[in-house]
Structure 1
Amino acid sequence: MKKHLIAVTLAFSSLILVGCSEQANNQAGQQHLQPIDVAQVLVKPVQSWHTYTTRLESPEQVALMPRVSGVIDNIAFHEGDAVKQGDLLFKLDDRPFVAVVDTLKAQIISAKAALAQAKSEAKRAARLTERKAISTEQAESRTSTLRQREAQLAALQAQLTSAQLDLEFTAIRSPIDGVISRANITKGNNVLAGQSILTTIVSSERMYAYFDIDERTWNSAFTNITAESKQPVVMQKVGQSAFTHQGFIDFIDNQIDPATGTLRVRAVFNDDNEQLRAGSFARIKLAANRITEQVIIPERAIGTDLKNRFVLTLGENNILQYKLVKIGERYGKLRAITSGLESGDVIAVNGPARVGPGMPVNPNNVAIDTSGIAFTLAPLDQASLVAKQ
């Protein structure tokens, strides 16, 4: 009897120990599950983006040269300033030109006096001819002299007009609104008409960006675009992380370049804040007109397996599953998935960095951050874009 009680007690103790051991093992297993961030995939309307590189060009650029030769007497601008059309920039020594104008004015006075005398003599000759007091030959000679005096006066007046223009051209003014560069030739130096480059001026209110689109892309994504439709584009300058400048297409060339198979296109950007400079390297983003809905996930959620791309999805019992995917356009730190995922799928946000397929995990639900990311190119305020056209 005593032996029987001892056996029962031992058996009961063993059951208790086994139960505690299993509970401890279960708790330990749960504690050792890898915690990972998971998120439900997004489904967004998106446009296909196309990126092109270019350099900005000013619509108007002037290499300023004098129209007359002379010596620079004064420089009337500060280098690098904004100038307006008609502003005085350089002044040449005008004394030689003033002298020419004064000489011609004096010659005109003399020519007018000679013309008045020739007219008087011609009238007198006409009266004498009626009375046959003068020969026809003498009358014609006086008439010819009158015509010569008239021609001499007209020539002198034309020379005076030219001399006055030359005098006016000694004041060299800005032909456009823009930003002026440095003075290439300084005060006291002689300049030659149509040869000496005094400085350069570039207009700054707008900037052009020319880029080439290959024929296949144009026909598949942009065939319905015209210059009149003002297709929106965005631009990123070197050193910037975002495409902060908005513009639109205002010119499409009239033919495909047969040598390159590309079409030349131009975008225009208003520079209200004077942040753009001619010659700057830039990247242009152009969105196709067609909008489609696609699955969006973080770029870091995508893994690479030889030539394949895959993501880890959360399956039953929180076990990770391997899914092949095909990737589409990139939108900031996010990526469109064209096949392999569906709405409602839950993915490992950080990809296969610390986990793999078939592993049970401890999921931590997070949301995919889309702040500051444009999936479609929003319509621009066309009134503000074309206000300075």
Structure 2
Amino acid sequence: MSFNKHSQIIIISVLLTTLMACSEPPEQAKAAQAQRPLTQIDVAQVVSKPVQSWFTYTTRLEAPQQVALKPRVSGVVNTIDFVEGQQVKQGDLLFSLDPRPFEAQVASLRAQVASAVAEYQQAKSEAARAARLRKRDAISSEEAESRTTAAKKAQAQISALNAQLQAAQLDLEFTKITAPIDGVISRAEITKGNTVNANQSTLTNIVSDQKMYAYFDIDERTWNSHFEQAKASDNLPVVMQLLGSDEFAHQGHVDFIDNQINTSTGTLRVRATFLDNSKLRSGAFARIRLASQEAQQQVLIPERAIGTDLKNRFVLIVDDKNTLQYRPITVGDRYGEFRVITKGLTASDIIAVNGPAKVGPGMPIEPRTTQLNADAIGFTLGAPLNQTLLTAK
């Protein structure tokens, strides 16, 4: 019996030792967990900037006036009186044709007019004499009427010859070919000594340069969503970038909106006008930015900070206890790597910059403060193009 009691004491001692040994690891685990460092997470305050929604279109510039200069009469080119590629003014002499055939025609018609005037004077005198003789019944009424008719025909002949003379004088004037508009002239397509045909041969081209037009097409959905209330008289501002330039350096305004949607393309034709004529050339490729509203202060965050679940887009914000919290958001337009947040965040909120990839709501963290740099992003209409353009919502 003493042996059994001794064995029971040993067994009880072992069990107590085992229980004590098993009870120690959880406490040690808690202590280890308390001493374990928190996860470091990059956090930053959201960006708040004036933001403007705009749309970008491509086009080619057009001069308001373009002239393919053609002669009004046929003849031989006598002189070329301009410097190719230079400015010309309306009325400047550009070409002259050999005038001698036209001068001869004018001289011939002047002689014919003089002869017709003499004939008319004689017929008029005979008609007057016939009228006097008729009063004395010294001539028949038929003869008197015949002389009166002859005088009227002679007068009509003078009118016809004067019209021909006027046309010949115009042809003579047309041998001096002048600039019909102000602008920049191209090269001479036909050189001295060549024969040109009236209204067929192209002598050169002139384009006006006081202003330039840029036509572009806005799709029906965008127009109805953003520009439905716009009128040409509103002079909506636009900016333009030329090919090879990094900036939208040219400012203009919309001065024409077409009166109907093109049913074939579902677009509306719009025209912007630019008055800066120092660097603009007709036919140049250009990008046009058109804003739909005035700039408004908006909250922006990096695209990578946004998470998506089955219901919402969300971000993780940092509370005053350095714990991550779930916050549903509504997103707007994207500008480069940044996205406008239209609902869910305020300008004072601090977010997990890299999103919910390795962390989740309710998780305590060690915040590693960073700063969001949006200086290289253009958020308004006149911003440079050294950044990614706006994309639709």
Quick check: TM above 0.5? yes
Q: Which letter does structure 2 place at the counterpart of 1:244?
A: A
Amino acid at match of 1:267: A
CA RMSD in angstroms comes to 3.5
Q: 2:281 aligns with which of 277, 281, 284?
A: 277
8 Å Cα contact 2:183/2:208 also seen in 1: yes
Identify the match of residue 164 of structure 2 among 159, 167, 174. Answer: 159
Deviation at 1:251, TM superposition (A): 1.1
Which SS does the other structure have where 2:53 is aligned? strand
What's the secondary structure of 1:114's corresponding residue? helix
Are 2:349 and 1:345 equivalent residues in the alignment?
yes
Matched-pair contact (CA < 8 Å) for 1:45–1:376: no
Helix, strand or coil: the match of 1:172? Answer: strand
Other structure's SS at 2:292 match:
strand
Alpha-carbon shift at residue 198 of structure 1 (Å): 1.0
Amino acid at match of 1:200: N
Find the counterpart in structure 2 of residue 7 from structure 1: none
Pick closer, same or farther for the CA change 1:234–1:376 going to 2, 3 Å. closer
Q: What is the CA–CA distance in structure 1 between the aligned matches of 2:378 and 2:242, rounded to whole Å? A: 18
Aligned to 2:245: 240
Distance 2:49 2:301 in 1: 10
How many residues align? The count is: 342
* TM-score computed with the length of structure 2 as normaliser: 0.75
CA distance in 1, matches of 2:369, 2:377: 27
The answer as to whether partners of 2:59 and 2:216 remain within 8 angstroms in 1 is yes
In structure 1, C-alpha distance between the alignment counterparts of 2:188 and 2:313, rounded to whole Å: 59
Aligned residue runs from structure 1 range 1-389, under 5 A? 40-272=45-277, 274-289=278-293, 292-297=296-301, 328-331=332-335, 335-338=339-342, 341-346=345-350, 360=366, 362-363=368-369, 366=371, 368=373, 370=375, 373=378, 375=380
Write the distance in 2 (CA, Å) between the matches of 1:318 and 1:328: 28
CA drift of 1:223 comes to: 0.8
Cα distance in structure 2, aligned partners of 1:347 and 1:255: 47
The answer to whether the 8 A contact 2:84-2:186 is kept is yes
AA paired with 1:113? A
| Cα drift, residue 306 of structure 1 | 12
Runs of 4+ in 1 over 6 A off after TM superposition: 303-326
Unaligned runs of 5+ in 2: 1-34, 384-393
Residue type at the aligned position of 1:281: F
Q: Does the C-alpha gap of structure 1 residues 312 and 90 become closer, same or farther in structure 2, counting only changes over 3 Å?
A: farther
Following superposition, the deviation at residue 271 of structure 1 comes to 2.4
Equivalents in 1 of 2:245, 2:339: separation in Å? 21
Q: Secondary structure at the match of 1:162?
A: helix
CA radius of gyration, larger in:
2
Q: CA deviation at 1:98?
A: 0.8
Shift of 1:44: 2.9
Counterpart of 1:150, as a letter, is Q
- Letter matched to residue 191 of structure 2: T
8 Å CA contact 1:298–1:368 kept in 2: the answer is: no
The CA deviation string for residues 241-299 of structure 1, in whole angstroms up to 9 with x for no partner, is: 22111111111111112222211111111124x21111112111111136544213467
Contact 1:319–1:361 at 8 Å: present in 2 too?
Answer: no
- CA distance change for structure 1 residues 371 and 119 in 2, over 3 Å: closer, same or farther? same
- Alpha-carbon offset, residue 186 of structure 1: 0.9
* Counterpart Cα distance in 1 of 2:343 and 2:80: 67
Deviations 1:326-346 (A, max 9, x none): 654355775534456431234
Q: What is the CA-CA distance between 1:82 and the residue it aligns to?
A: 1.4
> Could you tell me which amino acid in structure 1 is paired with residue 271 of structure 2?
R
* Structure 1 range deviating more: 307-316 or 98-107: 307-316
**Which secondary structure state, in structure 1, belongs to the residue aligned with residue 202 of structure 2?**
coil
- For 1:222 and 1:139, the matched residues in 2 are separated by 81
Distance 2:174 2:377 in 1: 54
**Once the 2 structures are TM-superposed, how far is the Cα of residue 181 of structure 1 from its aligned partner?**
1.1
* Aligned mates of 2:336, 2:82 — CA distance in 1: 45
User: What residue is the counterpart of 1:10 in the other structure?
Assistant: none
Check whether the contact 1:39–1:368 (CA below 8 A) recurs between aligned residues. Answer: no
Q: Quote the Cα distance in structure 2 between the aligned partners of 1:42 and 1:270.
A: 36
Aligned partner of residue 289 in structure 1, secondary structure:
coil
